[in-house]
Amino acid sequence: MSADLSKTAYDHLWMHFSRMADWADTPVPTIVRGEGAYIYDDRGRRCIDGLSGLFVVNAGHGRRELAETAARQAAELAYFPVWGYAHPRAVELAERLAHLAPGDLDKVFFTTGGGEAVETAWKLAKQYHKLTGNPGKYKVISRAVAYHGTPHGALSITGLPALKAPFEPLVPGAFKVPNTNIYRAPVHGDDPEAFGRWAADQIEQQILFEGPDTVAAVFLEPVQNAGGCFPPPPGYFPRVREICDRYGVLLVSDEVICAFGRLGTTFGCQKFGYVPDMITCAKGMTSGYSPIGACIVSDRVAEPFYRAGTSFLHGYTFGGHPVSAAVALANLDLFDREELNQGVLDREADFLATLSRLRDLPIVGDVRGNGFFYGIELVKDKATKETFTEEETERVLYGFLSRALFENGLYCRADDRGDPVVQLAPPLIAEQGLFDEIEAILREVLTQAWAKL
C-alpha cells in the first residue's frame, strides 16, 4: 500500500456522493482518529466534528467501552443471521427498543442501515394492506427535498429530483407534498399554527387526489434534514396523525437522523408528541461503532404478519448483526449513565442562541432546527431572501466554503439540496465552549464567503 493514503484514495476508494474528478490533483481529506467531539486528520490537524461524522457519532469519538464490547461479542459469536434463528443480543436489543419506543411499537425488524429501514417500511406497508383486504393501497407520500436513502424504493420516496434523475424510472407510486420550510412558506409565513395546518392539509389533499384506496403510507422525518433542518410547525404532527387515521394510511416516522438523542429524546416523535405506526432508525443507535438499522413496527401493523402461514418475505444477511446489536446495547447503557438526552434538552437553547449570533452577518438568512440539529441558510440578500445562483453555489458553497471550514477546524456540511445551508449536528456531549468555537469559525469563514459573492 502506498504511504500517501490520499493518493491511493483517489486511485481506489470510490467515495460516496462525490465528484471523483475533484480529487485528481487535490489530497483527499483523510481522518485517522477521533476523540470526544474532535477528529484528527493524517497531517495531525485537529478539527471539530460538527456533524458527528454523518449524524452518527452521537456519544462522541474514542469510547473504549463500545470498542471493547464489539471485540468481546465478536469473540463470543461474531455472526449469526436472524432468519428463523435468534441470538441473545438481537433479542435483548429488540426488547430494549420496544420498551423505549412510544405506544405499541413493539416489533423490531433489523436492517444494516437507514435506507434499508425505509425500504423495509414501504414493503411492509404494502404487504400489510394486502393482508388486511386493501390490496390497492401501495402508494407513498413524502415531502419535497426530503432525503430517505438510496435503494430504489427509498430513493423514490426521496424528494430530490436531481438525485433521482440518473436512475429513472424508479418505483412507481411515490408522490410529494410541500415540506415545513416556514422561512420560504408560500402561505402563512408569519403564522406557524396556520402554516402547520396548511402543510398537514397538503397531505390530505394528496391522499384525496390519488384516492385513499391507493395510498399505503406517509413518510416524514420529525425534523427534515435535507433543505437544512425544518422543524414541524405547532400542530403539524397531531393533524397528520388524524389525517392518516381517517384514510387508513400508515404514518412512518423516518428517524434515521432524529432518533437516539439528536433532538434530546430517544425517538424524535417523542419530542413532538406523536405516535407513528413505524419508526425507521439507524445511525446513532450504535453511535457509529458498528452499523445497524431498524424498522420498529406497531403491534397493530405486525398482527397480520403473525397469523399462521404468513411471513414477511424480506431480510438482510447482516440485519441485527450480533456485534452491532451488542454495541447498540452498550451505547444505550452509556446514554442512560451519562444522561445524554437530558444534556441535549438542557443545552439546546444555548446552542441555538450561540448559532443565532451569526444572524448579524449579511449572508445569514435563517438559523433553524431543534435539539443538536441546526441549519444555517445562506442568502445573497436578507431582505428579499434572494438565494445564490447556480454559479455562486458552485463557486462559493462548493469551491470555497466546505473546504475553508475544514481548513479552519470545523468539519460540517455545506449543502444545496434545497437552498444553500450549513448544517451542524455535533456529538451530544458538546457544551458551551464547543458551541462558541463553532460560532467563531463559522463567523470567520462566512465573512470570507460573503466577500467572495
Ligand X SMILES: Cc1ncc(COP(=O)(O)O)c(C=O)c1O
Under the rule (CB under 6 A), what is the footprint of ligand X?
113-115, 118, 147-149, 221, 225, 254, 256-257, 282
Beta carbon of residue 452, minimum distance to ligand X (angstroms, whole number): 29
Smallest distance, ligand X to C-beta of residue 290, A: 13
The answer to whether the beta carbons of residues 181 and 147 sit under 8 Å apart is no
Minimum CB separation from ligand X for residue 148, in Å? 4
Residues 6+ away with beta carbon under 8 Å from 449: 363, 378, 396, 400, 401, 404
Q: How far is the CB of 1 from ligand X (least distance, A)?
A: 27
Q: What would the grid cell of residue 148 be?
A: 430517505
User: Between 17 and 85, whose beta carbon lies closer to ligand X?
Assistant: 17
Nearest distance, CB of residue 283 and ligand X, angstroms: 6
C-alpha cell of residue 19: 465528484
Residue type (1 letter), 43? R
- Taking the complex as a whole, the smallest distance from the CB of residue 272 to ligand X amounts, in Å, to 15
Question: Which CB sits closer to ligand X, 182 or 281?
Answer: 281
CB 113 within 8 A of CB 278: no
**Least distance (Å) between residue 254 CB and ligand X:** 4
| Min CB(294)–ligand X separation in Å | 11
Q: What is the DSSP letter of 304?
A: G
Contact between residue 260 and residue 216 where contact means Cβ atoms under 8 Å apart: no
Query: Cα 428 to chain center, whole Å?
Result: 15
Which of 48/256 has CB closer to ligand X?
256
337: enclosing H helix or E strand? helix 322-338
Strand (E) positions, 38-195? 38-41, 46-49, 105-111, 139-143, 174-177
257 vs 328, beta carbon nearer ligand X: 257
CB 427 within 8 A of CB 58: yes
Nearer to ligand X, 38 or 147 (CB): 147
Q: Is 176 within 8 Å of 142 (Cβ atoms)? A: yes
- Cβ proximity to ligand X: between 159 and 233 the closer is 159
Nearer to ligand X, 54 or 78 (CB): 54
Separation CA 272–CA 265 (nearest Å): 10
d(CA 347, CA 185): 28
The residue with its CB nearest to ligand X is 114
> Euclidean distance between the first and final Cα of the chain, in Å?
42
Q: How far is CA 101 from CA 106, 148, 263, 311, in A?
A: 7, 21, 15, 23
Cβ nearer to ligand X, comparing 274 with 388: 274
